């Protein structure tokens, strides 16, 4: 997997450091223990194949578990995507040679979050793991390129005049030298088509907020998406109906308080 080979190693180091910090926390606080019952949080994820935004609502099931509802949107790229520029034209917009569609995936699902190691005081770290599954709805939007159809030399201006057309990519007729640059994102917006599917995921959360009412956490994990058909992102590379996504992100939000304990 291109781009984020460091994630598994970072994941292990993060777990080791925070686990050690959890067990080495200071004296137990003498203040009353706060019990939370709900969670509303958001997160920005950086993935090995793009990026994602998520909203989560969590409802406490017992002292250590929450039922979580996750809603997220992610931009998924093909692992072979590389942005290039036509060497014959300067200062033009870069493009991914051979790209057919931009792929955006919406997910909605349920899961369970369990607190494995609890905070001993407000300055400590709690470690939680979660797993879940749900439905996916991918949206494919065609990519258009500004393609050089023809050119002529203007003697008066002493320059080459280019005539451009807006076209989808075709490996049968296009080469890098034919493409002037990528076209506007709005081209093809009326041609969006859905690709349904489903997903499963699992991850770890390292929560370090100094307030019981706020969430500040680092999070990492993996998602497996499977769609009902092959997702045609690239024309020049092999496409697949599934994606394995490694992610790492920062979670922030608020929790509701239900009672004080002794």
| pLDDT tens digits, one per residue of 107-131 | 999 999 998 887 766 668 889 999 9
- What gap in Å lies between CA 63 and CA 205, rounded to an integer? 17
Compute CA 98 distance to the chain's CA centroid, rounded to the nearest angstrom. Answer: 22
Positive or negative: CA dihedral 157, 163, 169, 175 = negative
Residue among 48, 46, 44 at smallest CA distance from 81:
48
- What gap in Å lies between CA 206 and CA 252, rounded to an integer? 12
Residue among 262, 256, 255, 224 at smallest CA distance from 241:
224
Percent of the chain with pLDDT over 90: 44
- The residues facing 254 across adjacent strands are 40, 214
Is pLDDT of 1 > 70? no
Query: Average of pLDDT values for 199-224?
Result: 90
Quote the pLDDT of residue 176: 76
95 and 144 in contact (C-beta within 8 Å)? no
Quote the pLDDT of residue 14: 52
């Amino acid at each position: 997997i291109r781009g984020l080979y460091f994630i598994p190693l970072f994941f292990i180091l993060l777990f080791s450091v925070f686990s050690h910090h959890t067990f080495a926390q200071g004296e137990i606080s003498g203040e009353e223990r706060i019990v939370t019952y709900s969670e509303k949080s958001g997160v920005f994820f950086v993935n090995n194949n793009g990026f994602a935004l998520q909203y989560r609502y969590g409802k406490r099931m017992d002292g250590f578990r929450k039922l979580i509802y996750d809603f997220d949107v992610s931009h998924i790229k093909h692992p072979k995507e590389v942005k290039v520029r036509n060497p014959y034209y300067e200062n033009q917009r870069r493009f991914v040679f051979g790209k057919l569609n931009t792929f955006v995936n919406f997910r909605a699902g349920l899961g369970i979050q369990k607190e494995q190691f609890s905070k001993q005081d407000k300055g400590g770290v709690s470690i939680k793991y979660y797993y879940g599954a749900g439905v996916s709805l991918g949206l494919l939007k065609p990519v258009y390129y500004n393609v050089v159809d023809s050119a002529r030399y203007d003697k008066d201006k002493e320059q080459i005049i280019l005539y451009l057309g807006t076209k989808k990519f075709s490996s049968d007729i296009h080469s890098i030298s034919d493409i002037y640059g990528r076209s506007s994102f709005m081209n093809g917006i009326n041609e969006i088509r859905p690709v349904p599917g489903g997903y499963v995921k699992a991850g770890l959360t390292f929560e370090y907020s100094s307030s019981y009412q706020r969430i500040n956490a680092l999070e990492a994990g993996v998602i497996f998406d499977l769609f009902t058909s092959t997702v045609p992102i690239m024309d020049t590379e092999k496409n697949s109906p599934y994606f394995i996504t490694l992610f790492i992100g920062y979670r922030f939000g608020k929790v509701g308080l239900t009672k004080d304990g002794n």
